[in-house]
């Protein structure tokens, strides 16, 4: 997924248009979007350590911490990353970085109860557990008006089986990603990496699966689109060999 940045043009477009262009189109465009080399999560990790090593714990550091969190780096992982980096960058820089990171990951301090993002973790998804590899959680959001919406949360490595949403007319599903990093794949196509703010439209009749990345919790709203004679056909699991190819 290409990164889109507009801060350069917004803040410096008139004063330094070339700098703004390089910031938005090259740094946050070409460099950050080279996911064939490193994932967004990995680039966030490298950027956080590079800024910390220079002692740049300012608003740009906070922005990159927040981006790291959106790209799937957990509270436990950022604590380990900053601890390791502090031995090389300097102990005072480590303290400064931790003060800011603690604020960014504040809501995660109560452990798993804070999982699930804005709409909450919900209960273990036991009714559909046989269609998942790993543990998932389900928190119904709406359903009284005829449109069913549920927040689905996957633990790291969890994914659902290949499946098809069926309908005589209409139907299908809409995924609205809210937390962590995950994957979506249609049969015969490359997997697509998912991040908060991404949306996936799944027409009826398309064989697909979705779930979390290996190293990140992942949540999305699952919106069941209205249709006639709708149903789900659950198929084979996504194999470990297939899943392990994903970064």
Phi-psi region of 5 (alpha: psi -120 to 50; beta: other; left: phi over 0): beta
pLDDT > 70: what percent of the chain? 92
User: Measuring CA to CA, how many Å separate 220 from each of 174, 175, 179?
Assistant: 10, 6, 7
pLDDT at 47 over 80: yes
C-alpha to C-alpha distances, 223 to 115, 122, 137, 173, 175, nearest whole angstrom? 20, 16, 16, 6, 6
Helices (H), ranges, 2-139: 7-12, 17-21, 40-53, 59-70, 75-89, 91-104
Report the alpha-carbon distance of residue 220 to residue 196 in Å, rounded: 8
Q: Are 138 and 150 in contact (CB under 8 A)?
A: yes
Among the residue ranges 8-17, 30-39, 96-105, 185-194, the one predicted with the least confidence is 30-39
- CA–CA distance, 217 with 212 (Å, rounded to integer): 6
Greater model confidence, 110 or 186: 186
- Which of 10-19, 26-35, 97-106, 145-154 is predicted least confidently? 26-35
Q: What percent of the chain has pLDDT over 90?
A: 56
* Statement: residue 238 has pLDDT above 80: yes
pLDDT of residue 113: 45
3-state helix, strand, coil in the chain (%, to 5): 40, 25, 35
Q: What is the mean pLDDT of residues 111-134?
A: 82
Are 98 and 202 contacting, i.e. CB atoms less than 8 angstroms apart? no
In this prediction, residue 114 carries a pLDDT of 57
Of 66, 78, 155, residue with least CA distance to 115 = 155
Which pLDDT band, with edges at 50, 70 and 90, does 39 fall under? Answer: confident
Exposed (0-12), middle (13-18) or buried (19+): which is 25, by Cβ within 10 Å?
Answer: middle
Residue 4: pLDDT band (50, 70, 90) is low
Give residue-wise pLDDT tens across range 193-207: 999 989 999 999 999
At 205-223, the pLDDT tens digits run: 999 999 999 988 999 999 9
Kindly tell me if the per-residue pLDDT of 58 is higher than 90. Answer: no
Confidence of residue 97 (pLDDT cuts 50, 70, 90): very high
Confidence of residue 118 (pLDDT cuts 50, 70, 90): confident
Q: Confidence class of residue 59 from pLDDT cuts 50, 70 and 90?
A: confident
Average model confidence (pLDDT) for the chain? Answer: 88
Walk me through the domains of the chain, giving residue ranges and CATH numbers.
35-109 (1.20.1290.10), 117-243 (2.60.120.10)
Q: Distance between CA 179 and CA 118 in Å, rounded?
A: 8
Mean pLDDT confidence for 135-148: 84
Looking at residue 3, its pLDDT comes to: 56
pTM, two decimal places: 0.58
**Secondary element (H or E) of residue 142:** strand 136-142
């Amino acid at each position: 997924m290409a990164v889109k940045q507009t801060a350069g043009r917004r803040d410096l477009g008139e004063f330094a248009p070339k700098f703004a262009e390089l910031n938005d189109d090259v740094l946050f465009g070409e460099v950050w979007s080279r996911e064939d080399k490193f994932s967004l999560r990995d680039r966030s990790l490298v950027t956080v350590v590079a800024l910390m090593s220079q002692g740049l714990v300012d608003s740009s550091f906070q922005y990159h911490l927040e981006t790291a969190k959106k790209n799937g780096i957990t509270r436990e992982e950022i604590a380990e990353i900053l601890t390791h980096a502090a031995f090389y960058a300097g102990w005072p820089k480590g303290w400064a970085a931790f003060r800011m990171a603690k604020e960014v990951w504040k809501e995660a301090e109560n452990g798993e109860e804070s999982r699930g993002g804005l709409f909450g973790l919900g209960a273990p998804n036991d009714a559909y557990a046989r269609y998942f590899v790993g543990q998932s959680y389900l928190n119904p959001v709406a359903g009284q008006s005829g449109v069913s919406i549920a927040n689905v949360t996957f633990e790291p490595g969890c994914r659902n089986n290949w499946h098809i949403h069926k309908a005589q007319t209409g139907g299908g599903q809409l995924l609205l990603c809210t937390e962590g990093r995950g994957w979506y794949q249609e049969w015969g196509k490359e997997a697509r990496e998912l991040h908060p703010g991404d949306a996936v439209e799944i027409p009826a009749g398309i064989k697909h699966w979705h779930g979390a990345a290996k190293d990140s919790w992942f949540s999305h709203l699952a919106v069941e689109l209205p249709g006639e004679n709708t149903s789900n056909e659950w198929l084979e699991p996504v194999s470990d060999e297939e899943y392990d190819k994903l970064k």
